[in-house]
Copies of this chain bind each other. A is one copy, B any other.
Amino acid sequence: MRIVVTGGAGFIGSNLVDFLLARGHHVVAFDNFSTGRTEFLAPARTSLNFTMVDGDTTDPDALTRAFQGAEFVYHLAANADVRRGTEHPRKDLEQNTIATYNVLEAMRANGIRRMAFSSTGSIYGEPEVFPTPEDAPFPVQTSLYGASKLAGEGLIAAYCEGFGFQAYIFRFVSLLGERYSHGHVFDFFQRLRQNPHELRVLGNGQQRKSYLYVQDCLDAMQVAIDHSHDKVNIFNLGTDQSCRVVDSIGWITAHLGISPTLNYTGGERGWIGDSPLIELDCSRIRALGWTPKLTIQQGVVKTLEYLSQNLWLQDDHK
C-alpha cells in the first residue's frame, strides 16, 4: 500500500516511516523540516519504497500533489510547542487546525478515505476523572495546542460522517525513545550537560506526566488499525502509569552520574495550560491485545542512551 506520513521527518514520523517500510509499504514522507531532521530519514532513504516530499501542510496544492496514488494518510505534522502557545496563537491555528483541514481536502481530492491522526492527552484539559478514558466528560480546553487538536479531531470526525472517511484518532501521552528531540527529558538532559551543578525546574516538580516509548506507540497504532473497524476510532495511547517530574529528573541525573541542586519555580503548573496530571485510561487499546513493552523508567533510560549517543541533536538546539 502507498502511505503518506505528514511530519514524516519528525521524531514519531520518522520512526513510523521505518516501521511501515519494514512492513513492505511504499511510504511518502511529507515534511517542511521546521522541526523534522533529514538525519532521521537516513535509514529510510536506503529503501526504493521511500519518497521524500519537502512541503508544508499550510500549502494545499503541495499536499494534493504528494497524496497522489496513496491509500492511507498518517497526519502527524503539527506545531507541538504546547508550552509557548500564548506567544504565537496563530501558529496552532494555522499549523494544526487549518493544516488538518488541508490534509482532509487533499485526501478528498485524491479519493483517499482512510487516515490516522496524532491527537493528544492535552485535549482533556484538566480532567476530573483519572485515569482519563476516551469518553471522559466533555472537556474544557486549557491550552491553544489542545484546542487546535480538538478542532482537528472534530473536523476529521465530521469528514467521516459527511464524506465516508474512516479515521483512527490517537490521543498520545508524551512519547520517548530514539530520535526524541524536544520535551522535558530533552531539556533537562541538555541543561544538565551544560551545567551539572544546578537545574531550574518549572513548577514544584510534582506534576505527574505519563510517557510512552515510541516503538510501543507504533505497535499500538497498528493494533488499532488492524482490529478496530468503526467509522471513527478513538484511542488513548499511553502506559497505565505516570511519574512525577522529579522522578524523571532523578533518572536523568543517575544516568549522568551527577547530583545537581534543583531550583523549583513553584506552583502546581510548570506553565499556563500545563496540566498537573496527565494519566490516560488505555483499557480500550489494551482490550485489543496491545500492551507496552517498556515501563516509563525504561523508556526514559532508553531515551537517555539515545541522547548520549547523539549529542549532535543537543548541539543543534543550543
Contacts and interface: CB of A to CB of B under 8 A. Distances in A.
A135 B125 CA distance: 13
Nearest to A149: B154
A8 interface: no
A7 interface: no
Interface stretch (A93-101, A174-182, A185-193, A298-306): A93-101
A272 interface: yes
Interface stretch (A157-165, A199-207, A210-218): A157-165
Nearest to A108: B89
Interface in A119-174: 125, 134-144, 146-148, 150-151, 153-155, 157-159, 161-163
A85 B155 CA distance: 11
Contacts of A38: none
A224 to B, nearest CB: 16
A93 to B, nearest CB: 5
Given A97-B97, A134-B138, A137-B136, A143 B125 contact: no
A141 to B, nearest CB: 4
Contacts of A154: 141, 146-148, 150-151
Nearest to A128: B135
A162 B232 contact: no
A158 B137 contact: no
A273 B101 contact: no
Contacts of A158: 85, 141-144, 146-147, 273
Contacts of A142: 157-158, 161
Contacts of A134: 138
A153 B148 CA distance: 11
A175 to B, nearest CB: 22
Contacts of A140: 157, 232, 234
B161 A273 contact: yes
A268 interface: no
A272 B163 CA distance: 9
A105 interface: yes
A228 interface: no
A73 to B, nearest CB: 17
A86 interface: yes
What are the 5 closest A-B residue pairs judged by CB atoms, nearest first? Answer: A151-B151, A147-B154, A135-B137, A147-B158, A86-B162
12 contacts: A85-B162, A89-B101, A89-B105, A136-B138, A141-B153, A141-B154, A144-B159, A146-B158, A147-B154, A150-B150, A150-B151, A161-B272
Given A142-B161, A147-B158, A161-B272, 10 more contacts: A85-B158, A89-B105, A93-B98, A137-B138, A138-B139, A141-B161, A148-B154, A150-B150, A151-B154, A151-B155
Interface of A: 85-86, 89-90, 93, 97-98, 101, 104-105, 125, 134-144, 146-148, 150-151, 153-155, 157-159, 161-163, 232, 234, 272-273
